[in-house]
Amino acid sequence: MPTSHPRTRRLLLVDDHAVVRAGYRRLLEQAEEAWDIHEAENGESAYRRCAFEEFCAVVLDLSLPGISGLETLRRLRRRNPEQRVLIMSMHDQPAFVEQTLKAGAMGYITKSSAPEILLEAVREVVGGRRYLGPDVASCRRSACNDEDSAFDRLSPREFEIFRMLASGERVSTIADRLCISYKTAANYSTAVRGKLSVGSPSDLTRMAIRAGLLEA
pLDDT tens digits along 181-207 = 999 999 999 999 999 998 788 899 999
Does the structural domain 146-210 have CATH classification 2.40.170.20? no
pLDDT at position 2, please? 35
The pLDDT assigned to 187 comes to: 96
Domain residue spans in the chain? Answer: 7-142, 146-210
The pLDDT of residue 213 is: 86
Burial 2-35 (b: 16+ CB within 10 A, else e): eeeeeeeebbbbbbbeeeebeebbebbeeeeeeb
pLDDT confidence of residue 3: 40
pLDDT beneath 50: ranges in the chain:
1-6
Q: What is the pLDDT of residue 74?
A: 94
Domain at 7-142, CATH homologous superfamily: Response regulator (3.40.50.2300)
Contact 51, 79 (CB under 8 A): yes
Q: What is the pTM of this model?
A: 0.86
